[in-house]
Structures are given as C-alpha cells and as structure tokens.
A and B are shown apart, each in its own frame.
Chain A
Amino acid sequence: MMADSGPKEVAVIGNTELTSAELDNNIKNTMVEIEKGTSLLRKLEISVAEAEKRTGKNTVNMQEIYTVYLIETRPVDALTEGITPDSLWRRYSEFELLRNYLLVTYPFVVVAPLPEKRAEIVWHKLSADNMDPDFVERRRVGLENFLHRVASHPVLCNDNIFNIFLTEQDKDWKEMVYETGFQAKADSRLKAVNAAFRVKNPDGRFTELKHYSDELQTVLSQLLRVRARVADRLYGVYKVHGNYGRVFSEWSAIEKEMGDGLQSAGHHMDAYAASVDDILEEEEHYADQLKEYLFYTDALRAVCRKHELTQFELEMVALDLACKKQQKEELVTGTVRTFSLKGMTSKLFGQETAEQREAKLQVLEQQLKEGEEAVKEKNTESDEFVKTAWVDIERFKDQKDRDLKEALISYAVMQISMCKKGIQVWTNAKECFNKM
C-alpha cells in the first residue's frame, strides 16, 4: 500500500565508479531540466512510499515513539517487468545526518532543505502535532522531494554515502558517515559561523546573494503566515454556509409552495460548505512549495558564509606574508620602521652580530617561501570555491525561477478552479430559489 502523492519523478543516480568522461557526461545530462519521463543515464526510481510508527529506546534509554519512512528504489527499465523495488526504512534523524554530511562535504553546493521537523506555519485545521497523519503525510512528500533534489544534482548524486543511504540496509550507514570525518569539518565550520570576523574584500556577488537570501526569508515567512490566516478565514466563510443547509431543510418542512425549492437549495449550501476542504488541501501543496524555498535560504547563506571564511583565511595568510616581507626588508636594510621591543633592545644593548642576522634572514626566507606557497594555495582554493559555488548558484537560480513560476501559475489555476466550483454551486442554488 503506497501512499501516493502524485506522479513520481524520475531522478538520476550515478554509480560510484565512473571514468572522468562518464562523469562529465553525467553532469552534462543532469544539468538538463529534470522532468517526468525524461530519458537519462542510469535512471533509478526513488520514492518515499510509506510512513510507520515505531517504538524504541532512545539515547538516554527512554521509551520513545518515532516515525520511519520506507525508501523504495528501482531501476526504471524494470518498470514494465513489475519487479518489486528494493526498500529500506529510515527515520527523520538519519535524513538530517545525511544532509549535514552533504553540507559539510560539498560546501559550494546549495543543498536542498528537509521538510519541517515540527509543524510551524500551519492554519488551524492541521494540528501542529508531529504525530498527526496529515503532517506525517506532508513530511513524507517533503522527504521524497529532498531525495529527488539530491539525486538530480550533478555533483551530489555521485556521492557514495548518499547512494548507500538509498539502497543498503545492512551496512551500518551511520558508522560510515562518521568515518568520513565530516564531524571535524562540521565543528570547524561551526566555529567559523560563531566567530566574528571581518572580510576586507568579499566577492560582491556573494554579498548580494546574502542580502537576497535574507530578503527572501523575511518575505516568504510573512507571506506564508498571512496565507495561513487567509485560509483560516476562508474556511470559516464556507463552513457557516452549511448552516443554511440545515435551516433550509427544517424550514422546507413547514412550507408548501416553497418546500421543494428550499430543500434542494439547502443541499447546494451543504455542497458549497464541503467544497472548501479540497480547495484548501490543494493550497497546502502550494504552500509547501513556497516553504521549500524559504528553507533553501539557509543553504544559500551557508554557501555565502563558506566564501567569507575562505576569503578571510586567504586575507589572513596574505597579511601574514606581507608582514614577513616587511620584517625581511627591515632586517636587510637595517632600518627599523616600526617600533618593536627587539628594535629597542638592540638599540640599548647593541646591534646583533652578522651571524645572528644571517640566521634570522634564513629563517625568514624559509617562512616567506612557505607563506607564498600558502597564499597561492589559498588563492587557488578561493578561486576554485567561487567558481564551483557560482556554477551551483546559477543552477539553483534557474531551478528556483522555474519551480516558483510553475507554483504561481498553478496557484492561479487553483483559484480558477475555486471560482468554477463557486459559479456552479450558486447557479444551482439560484435555480432552486427560482422554484420557490
């Protein structure tokens, strides 16, 4: 019994041992817009098919109830042959671990977000309870979407850890993740996040991107909040009309001429009141699409921060090199341009010997060489990062524009559908009133 959320998207999974040519080919192919039914290399069908509740002991040895999700994978060629898919169960925390690993390992990638851990921006009908079946269902859809995003990403889809997450139950996947040592990197990133550092020459595009992410986050939060309130109110309007149904029906019992007209009008009022449920459920799907991009802003900011960190390190190293150069110059020319204790003491206690100076010079020369190496390295690192990050950012921008444009259009179409239903119900009611 598969919980169906609509047609399943086909995503690309590459295997982990590819020649560079194949890799290029993969990337080229995956750069193409992913659409249902599009033919790509090594298609694998992925779905998060079900959700189940489990009980178990948590880390502090207490009983807890949690939900697990069934991940099914199947090569697309096998579709027509009706081969049962491979499947395994994963819980939300494992998805989180996977995502953190990807974030750290590929800092230049805008990594897709996970669906909400806790239901936050909801309207009153949906409870904020994590165990609520509607919430679980929407989360299931969100997790599936996450997997599709990762699987269709030109770089991420090749990651070994990701592939094992999808397909192999037996291995201790968590152990494997920790063995990659990503935790250490994660810690240093965390330190970087918390450290207050000032970058002198950040790439302007990243600064702009950071501002954009902040703006987008603010506006989407507000939009989603107001939308939820609007949905609430609309629900109220429709449901109150249900009372007409009841009263018309009761009233029709005491009327002779008007009875039939009233009775049937009442039925239409009931239908009207009931129609809002479908309308709002469709809208919830739209809200989820917007929410994904709200959560994406975190990933965008993370990439910007990584750039700042890289840039900062580069600047530090360059500064250090400049310092060393200056020191060498001072030593060679014997001039002391800057005040230093050494300078003072040498003045007071006499100059160094030629041998001492020579020794110092040699040390400095070595340091200078190392410093120049470091600067070159950092420069390359920074350039590489900027280049790869910007490729992914462009990819993300295109994806965002496409997705959101489609979402907005479908929203308008939803409104049209709502109008059509309204026209039908009230035209019917009008005919009934005419018969009164």
Chain B
Amino acid sequence: MSRTIDAVVSPTQTNTIPADISGQMLDLDEDDDLEVFSKDLTLADGNMFNASMPTSPGSMVNQCKFEEDEESDSKDIFITVDNPESHVTAIETFITYRVLTKTTRSEFDNSEYEVRRRYQDFLWLKGKLEDAHSTLIVHPLPEKFVVKGMVERFNGDFIETRRKALHKFLNRIADHPILSCSEDFKVFLSAQAWELTTYKKQGPGFLSRMGETVRAVANSVRGVKNRPEEFTAIQEYVEDFSNKIGSLDKVTQRIVKEQKEYLEELKEYGPTYTLWSGSEEELAEQLKGVAGCIERCCKETEEQVGHLSDTLVPVLHEYVLCAETLKAVLRRRDNIQAEFEAKNEALATKKVDRDAESSDLGFVWGSLLGKNPEEARHQRQERLDGEIEELKEEIDKLEDRVEWANNALKGDWGRWQRSMRGDLKSAFLSTAEKNVDYYEKYFIFIHTQITVSL
C-alpha cells in the first residue's frame, strides 16, 4: 500500500531525510550497540562455522553448541541500521535503510558490506528464519503499520523508532548462536538489491508452503495429547507475562500522555508570574524568579518525557510483540508434536489392521476379484507391512524433529529470559535514573533562585 508524500517529488529522485538526522543516528548507534553486546551472551566461536552451512535439524544440533555459560566479549560481527531514505517510484513510495555489516567471520567473503533494505526485506528474512527454525525465538520486528494514533508512515519519529527496532532485530539475530549461521541471514546482509530479489525467488514455492501450513493447521486442530510438563509451564508463564507486559505498555503510554498535558499547562503558568511582575515594584524580582523556576520545570519535564518515549516505551512495546512471538513458537512446537502423535496413532491403527487374522471384508473382496483367498490375504499383509515400514521411518524422522524442536526451544528459552531480564532491567533502571536526574536538576535550580532573587 503506498501513500503519497505531500512534497512534490519527481519519480526518479530519491529524497534524503535531512542530513543532521543521519549524522545523529550513526553516533547513537555505535554506543548503543556496544552497550547491548557486552551484556548479551555472545556465542561467536570461529570454529563452529563452516563455509557451507547444512540446514538439516540433525546436523545443526551437532554443529552449534549451546554454550550459554560462556560470556564472550569477542564479537565478530557488527551491524548497524541507519540512514533512512525515501524512494518514490511510479507505483509506490517506500523507505530504505542502510544496513552496514563489519565482520571477521569466515563464511563472509568480505569484511565489510553496505546494502540498502526495505521493511519488506526484513519481513522476508524473519519468515525464512522462522520457517527453518520453527521453535527458535526470533526477536520481533516493529509492526507493519501503526495501529492507533495518527502517526504518518513517513513521519520522522515513526521512521526513527522503526529504524531502532530494525537495528535491534538484526543484532539479536547476529547474537543468536544458531540463527546467525543462517544462509538467508548472510544473503540479507551481503547481497546487492538485484541479487536478493533473485535469491528470494528460489527455495520452496508458495504451494508447498501452503501444504505445510494446511498440515500444521490440521494437526493443531487435533491438539497435542502429551505435552511435556515444562512446556505447559512455559505456556502459562507466557500468558501471564503477555498480560503484564501489555499492562505496563499501556500504563507507560498513559504516563507519557499525562506528562505532556502537564507540560502544556505549565507553559501557560510561568508567564502569568511574568505578567504580574509588570505591575509590582517590590515583588517584581521574586515574581520573575518564580516564573524562571516554572520555565525550568518545563524544560526538564520536556526532557523527561522525551527520555521515556525513547527508552522505556519502545522496549515495553518490543516485549509485547515478543510475547506474541513466544505464543507462536509454543504453538509450532505443539504442532510438531501433534504431527508425531498423529503418525503414531496411524501406525497403531495400521498394525491392528495387519494383525487382524481374518478379515471378512478382505475375503469377500478377494473372492469377488476371483482371487485365491490365501493369495489375497498374503498380498494384503505384504502391502500393510510395507506401509508400516514407511510409517516407522517417517515416525523416526518426526521423533528426531520433536526432540530437536524441544531442545532448541529449551535452549532458546533460557537465552530469551536472560535477554528479557537484561533489557527490561536496563530500561527501568534508565527511567528511574532519569527521574532522579529530573528532580535533582530542578532542585538545584530552585535552590539557586531562592538565594538569588527570592
């Protein structure tokens, strides 16, 4: 869906967001990145990655170990997302972001890549990662559209918020021991625009994807029978967490709103003292002093609201989306188990069928065809045996799949919890610090005012 920008732009022109913003963003990023990375557990170990990455689950388990106890400061890949630019074509208008990668990883041909990507490309990457690793927790992308509020798609704030979220998204993947090995990820970071388009067209077609989805839906309708206790516990936690984080998101947004309204009134309040000072002689200085205090309060409040919007609001929002991701991951794990259980039931049924000594139906059928009843029975046995063997093979594979899915999820779950704690703790801490700072600055100002003019 494209929207038209108000400014008149020729189709071939690309508009750059004013230069000062892009400059700012680069500075912000470097510090942010390093902060986050040193807290996160990085599992980059050069030995683990080969040039050709096998993507079958079995081999993956052996390849990438979950070395979660190891806190490594040796990052070997740095990604930044910045410099949004809008592109106008005859059909649509969209924004692209520059994705800059610096890496020493051996599977990359170069050590530096600079590409431009649009939101759609990020969506594609996420889809591919989720397909390949259905029970790993992929960090959420910012939403497609802003649901409420009147934020224009091309509003500066919206773009900046989205850019930050995209930046975090890529970095989370880079941190992930398994996901960062993904070929799709590598292509996303390194391929030029036309290369990416070509690459996207390969791979399982739309129809085969449909088939998988249909099967998954069918299994989920049946439901999983013997879900391991620990996953039920995780699911209950996710439900509760989703509620709580949703509430926190709402409360925080409400605080921002109230603060803004408070600020509006304050802006009118200070000037009344200044006005009054015009009518007074003895009191003029004191009145101006109070006006000055209120003005300072305005300034500090504005800063504080800005900080809240930049720091706490986006993080809470991110984890609201995370909660949804978690629910989807749990569902997918359930589906995998459900499929396995379904096949097991089918096997049991088949076995029962085969072991049935005489089947009146078979006898009647055989005689109708003019076959020897003995032969008919033998043929039937053979056929069923074959099917049973096939089923057993499939079940073996599915069993592997279930085991791998469960292990992947279990491993990632601990990882995710640690990230979550780290992110939320840091965001709340920062907010509390800012609030202390707010009161301290205002306190000092009033103090000096009292000694000077009041």
Contact = CB atoms under 8 A, between A and B. Distances in A.
Given A257-B421, A405-B283, A422 B244 contact: no
Interface in A405-436: 405, 408-409, 411-413, 415-416, 419-420, 422-423, 426-427, 429-430, 433-434, 436
A253 B447 CA distance: 42
Contacts of B279: 212, 215-216, 219
A412 B454 contact: yes
Interface in B257-273: 258-259, 261-262, 264-266, 268-269, 272-273
Interface in A377-426: 401, 404-405, 408-409, 411-413, 415-416, 419-420, 422-423, 426
Interface string A160-176: 00000000000000000
B79 to A, nearest CB: 28
A240 B446 contact: no
B436 A427 contact: yes
Contacts of A408: 283, 286-287, 289-290, 454
| B contact patch SS | helix
B199 interface: no
A415 B444 CA distance: 11
A420 B443 contact: yes
Contact of A412 (B241, B275, B439, B450): B450
A111 interface: no
A401 B241 contact: no
A226 B440 contact: no
A343 B421 CA distance: 109
B283 A433 contact: no
Contacts of A265: 428
Contact of A416 (B287, B433, B438, B446): B446
B254 interface: yes
Contacts of A247: 244, 247-248, 251
B276 interface: yes
B268 A226 contact: yes
Contacts of A220: 276
A232 B424 CA distance: 31
Contacts of B428: 265, 433, 436
Nearest to A414: B446
Given A230-B265, A412-B450, A433 B432 contact: yes
Interface string A168-199: 00000000000000000000000000000000
Contacts of B443: 416, 419-420, 423
Contacts of B297: 415
B269 A227 contact: yes
Interface in B420-446: 421, 424-425, 428-429, 432-433, 435-436, 438-440, 442-443, 446
Contact of B248 (A244, A258, A416): A244
B240 interface: yes
A243 B247 contact: yes
B449 interface: yes
B158 interface: no
Contacts of A222: 272, 275
A409 B450 contact: yes
Nearest to A413: B450
Given A401-B282, A405-B286, A430-B433, A419 B275 contact: no
Nearest to B238: A254
A412 B255 contact: no
A241 interface: yes
Contacts of A215: 279
B365 interface: no
Interface in A335-355: none
Contact of A426 (B244, B255, B283, B432): B432
A433 B425 CA distance: 6
A293 B266 CA distance: 23
B276 to A, nearest CB: 4
Interface in A210-259: 212, 215-216, 219-220, 222-223, 226-227, 229-230, 232-234, 236-237, 240-241, 243-244, 247, 250-251, 253-254, 257-258
B23 to A, nearest CB: 32
B447 A236 contact: no
Contacts of B268: 226, 229
B293 interface: yes
B184 to A, nearest CB: 34
B286 A409 contact: yes
Instruction: Please indicate which of the listed interface residues A257, A416, A427 has the most CB atoms of chain B within 10 Å of its own CB.
Output: A416
Contacts of A234: 262
Interface in B166-209: none
A412 B287 CA distance: 11
A436 B293 CA distance: 36
A385 to B, nearest CB: 25
A420 B439 CA distance: 7
B283 A404 contact: yes
A426 B436 contact: yes
A426 B439 contact: yes
Nearest to B270: A226
A47 B388 CA distance: 101
A99 to B, nearest CB: 26
B265 A244 contact: no
Contact of B251 (A232, A233, A243, A423): A243
Contacts of A436: 421, 424-425, 428
A230 B290 contact: no
A24 B423 CA distance: 77
A254 B435 contact: no
A419 B286 contact: no
B250 to A, nearest CB: 8
Nearest to A272: B435
A234 B436 CA distance: 17
A411 B450 CA distance: 10
Given A220-B276, A405-B282, A416 B447 contact: yes
Contacts of B237: 254
A412 B449 contact: yes
B244 A236 contact: no
Nearest to A224: B272
Contacts of B436: 422-423, 426-427, 430
Contact of A423 (B262, B266, B440): B440
B425 A240 contact: no
Nearest to A223: B272
Contact of B429 (A230, A232, A413, A430): A430
Contacts of A237: 255, 258-259, 262
Contacts of A409: 286, 450, 454
B446 A223 contact: no
A219 B432 contact: no
Instruction: Please indicate which of the listed interface residues A219, A234, A261 has the most CB atoms of chain B within 10 Å of its own CB.
Output: A219
Contacts of B286: 404-405, 408-409
Contacts of A257: 421
Interface string B87-98: 000000000000
Contacts of A420: 439, 443
Contacts of A401: 282-283
A226 B269 contact: yes
B425 to A, nearest CB: 4
Contact of A236 (B248, B262, B450): B262
23 contacts: A216-B276, A219-B276, A222-B272, A222-B275, A226-B268, A226-B272, A230-B269, A236-B258, A237-B255, A240-B251, A247-B248, A251-B244, A254-B237, A405-B286, A408-B283, A408-B289, A411-B290, A412-B450, A412-B454, A426-B435, A430-B432, A430-B436, A433-B428
Interface of B: 237, 240-241, 244, 247-248, 251, 254-255, 258-259, 261-262, 264-266, 268-269, 272-273, 275-276, 279, 282-283, 286-287, 289-290, 293, 297, 421, 424-425, 428-429, 432-433, 435-436, 438-440, 442-443, 446-447, 449-450, 454
Given A222-B272, A411-B290, 7 more contacts: A219-B272, A223-B272, A230-B265, A243-B247, A251-B248, A426-B433, A430-B433
Closest 4 CB pairs of A and B: A422-B439, A419-B443, A233-B262, A430-B432
